[in-house]
């Protein structure tokens, strides 16, 4: 298939060596039309495209961990060839650049064909351990799926995606990865707030990495068009490639596959809730079939705890994708997936049973996660009321979610009978206006803390063991929006030091790292309403 791809004339002295095995391109149906213009693509999983040439690419940062998984050395990553390849200027032999075709439900409504509008998959590589990775450039130019857009991305969104992908990985959350972020040297026009004031911003390209970028919408598109032949072909390919342990395709295997998709999705969302991550645009086209966090757009991290908070300006009124609704949205998305694969199974009851199992599986994981965050050995039925009261207590005053749980570990059961002020002292750092806590607020919080410490006593775990447990699941460092924006502000001036420093900090989010204490602080007041530090649009 690679004979269709124009090779760049860029010459470099370095020699990046990859073993390409473009199974997806080789086995899935291709769009026969080679001209890169916007169109409806029928009967195909992808279209061949060529990345756009960048004028003056410059490496901003790369992930050493992801590079190592791809058998790349620091010398490789710091070479000119690396920059040229991963900005899209130089297509290596055996690469097969293409954009995937998929559809999706957006904000609860079927949107029809969507596809990779600004993502170009370079191909699939197999590392020395036999692991398969797809390399994808985001922001490298238009594709047949770009609709009215230009297929480009700006530096601010690229830095956010790069840093958050790696931060989520080190938090232990299933996610696509990021290899690099590279400035293009070109300006991109964007209307950041959709308010009629577009401006030129520096362009950039992120190299995203995952075993597969297939999402629920990849299957929905075929069913919506009545193309059951290609639906089956894609489902069988996915099982053979990414779920081989399930066995040969057939009804039972399809059901087992759907069950695993549900289980992986539940695991992912439980972890989102554990650390206070809000995806922001959890559409079916942004839901990975592998249970990976995918498509980092207007995401955000909960600063002051509010289950109704959404970081997405587009969702400001309906709040469909608010923090507290993510488990239910996941189930809704999975229902759409069940509808998509129904023609292969023809058993509504079996699919419905699995969706009901999702609720049970999620609830069990959610309960254990909440017990872990409180340092308890297990979740008991009576702990539900304890957690419901905590949910109320954390909303009495602006309470930083990350700092509250982290410093809850500092409490000692020996202080259970202390007065309110002494009992609350270790947690004051978590409040945005500690001096503004009313007497009633303090009393309610102290009452909950005493109830919690009594439960800890019943658990029979000493303070040191409990603290160690809690610090393994309650991060000290998360990529708060204002931190990412600070790094972006510097990067836009050509200074990439904070991008790389935050990348380094987020490698060990559960460790104390006293030299980086400033990155564990709650959101400063100046960032409360600053663009990029609170809510964001989908503009990229």
Q: Is the dihedral of CA 358, 264, 107, 40 positive or negative?
A: negative
Please state, in angstroms and rounded to a whole number, the distance separating the CA atoms of residues 30 and 43. 8
Contact in structure between 220 and 234 (CB atoms under 8 Å): no
464-498 burial, b if ≥16 CB within 10 A, otherwise e? eebbebbbebbbbbbbbbbbbbbbbebbeeeebeb
Give φ, ψ of 527 to 5 degrees.
-95, 0
**Of the listed 116, 285, 383, 459, which one is catalytic?**
285
Nearest-angstrom CA–CA distance, 257 and 96 = 28
Q: Where are the alpha helices (DSSP H) in 135-215?
A: 155-170
Through-space distance between the first and last CA atoms of the chain, rounded to whole angstroms: 31
Q: Is 285 a catalytic residue?
A: yes
Give yes or no for a contact between 102 and 220, defined as CB atoms under 8 angstroms apart. Answer: yes
Strand spans (E) along 68-118: 98-100, 103-106, 109-113
Longest dimension (CA), the chain: 76
E strand segments, 316-451: none
> Please, what is the angle between helix 348-373 and helix 463-473, to 10°?
130
Cβ-count burial 2-22 (b if 16+ within 10 Å, e if not): beebeebeeeeeeebebebeb
Contacts for 445 with CB less than 8 Å, ≥ 6 apart: 393, 396, 424, 427, 437
Locus of tokens 């757009």: 297
Angle, vertex CA 259, rays to CA 256 and CA 261, nearest 5: 110
Paired with 504 in beta bridges are none
Tokens of 26: 């080789």
Question: 294 to each of 134, 168, 279, 284, how far by Cα in Å?
Answer: 13, 11, 9, 11
Residue 423 CA to residue 417 CA, distance in Å, equals 8
Q: Residue 108: what are its φ and ψ, rounded to 5°?
A: 90, 0
Angle between helices 481-491 and 497-505 (to 10 degrees): 150
**How far apart are alpha carbons 344 and 83 in whole angstroms?**
44
Catalytic residue annotation:
285
């Amino acid at each position: 298939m690679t004979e269709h791809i124009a090779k760049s004339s860029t010459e470099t002295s370095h020699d990046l060596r990859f073993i390409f095995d473009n199974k997806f391109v080789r086995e899935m149906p291709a769009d026969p039309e080679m001209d890169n213009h916007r169109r409806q693509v029928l009967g195909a999983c992808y279209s061949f495209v060529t990345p756009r040439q960048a004028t003056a690419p410059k490496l901003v940062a790369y992930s050493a961990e992801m590079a190592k998984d791809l058998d790349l050395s620091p010398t490789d990553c710091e070479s000119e060839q690396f920059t040229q390849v991963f900005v899209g200027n130089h297509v290596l032999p055996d690469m097969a650049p293409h954009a995937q075709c998929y559809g999706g439900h957006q904000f609860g409504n079927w949107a029809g064909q969507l596809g990779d509008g600004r993502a170009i998959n370079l191909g699939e590589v197999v590392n020395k351990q036999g692991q398969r990775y797809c390399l994808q450039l985001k922001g490298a130019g238009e594709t047949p799926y770009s609709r009215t857009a230009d297929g480009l991305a700006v530096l601010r969104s690229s830095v956010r995606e790069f840093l958050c992908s790696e931060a989520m990985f080190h938090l232990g959350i299933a996610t696509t990865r990021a290899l690099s972020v590279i400035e293009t040297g070109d300006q991109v026009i964007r209307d950041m707030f959709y308010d009629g004031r577009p401006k030129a911003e520096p362009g950039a390209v992120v190299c995203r990495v995952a075993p597969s970028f297939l999402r629920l919408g990849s299957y929905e598109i075929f069913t919506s068009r009545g193309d059951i032949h290609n639906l089956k072909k894609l489902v069988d390919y996915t099982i053979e490639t990414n779920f081989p342990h399930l066995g040969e395709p057939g009804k039972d295997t399809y059901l087992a596959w759907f069950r695993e998709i549900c289980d992986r999705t539940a695991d992912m969302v439980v972890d989102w809730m554990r650390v206070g991550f809000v995806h922001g645009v959890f559409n079916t086209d942004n839901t990975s079939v592998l249970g990976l966090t995918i498509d980092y757009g207007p995401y955000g991290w909960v600063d002051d705890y509010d289950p109704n908070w959404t970081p997405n300006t587009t969702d400001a009124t309906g709040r469909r994708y608010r923090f507290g609704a993510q488990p239910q949205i996941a189930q809704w998305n999975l229902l759409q997936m069940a509808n998509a694969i129904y023609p292969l199974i023809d058993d509504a009851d079996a699919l419905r049973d699995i969706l009901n199992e999702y609720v049970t599986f999620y609830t069990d994981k959610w309960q254990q996660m909440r017990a872990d965050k409180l340092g308890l050995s297990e979740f008991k039925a009576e702990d539900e009321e304890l957690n419901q009261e905590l949910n109320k207590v954390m909303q009495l005053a602006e309470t930083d979610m990350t700092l509250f749980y982290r410093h809850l570990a500092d409490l000692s059961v020996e202080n259970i009978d202390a007065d309110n002020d002494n009992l609350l002292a270790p947690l004051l750092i978590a409040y945005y206006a500690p001096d503004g806590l009313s007497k009633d607020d303090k009393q309610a919080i102290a009452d909950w803390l005493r109830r919690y410490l009594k439960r800890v006593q019943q658990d029979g775990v000493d303070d040191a063991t409990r603290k160690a447990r809690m610090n393994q699941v309650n991060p000290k460092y998360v990529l708060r929006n204002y931190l990412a924006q600070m790094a972006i502000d510097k990067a836009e001036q050509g200074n990439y030091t904070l991008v790389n420093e935050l990348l380094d900090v987020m490698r060990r989010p559960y460790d104390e790292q006293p030299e980086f204490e400033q990155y564990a602080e709650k959101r400063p007041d100046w960032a409360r309403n600053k663009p990029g530090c609170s809510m964001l649009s989908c503009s990229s």
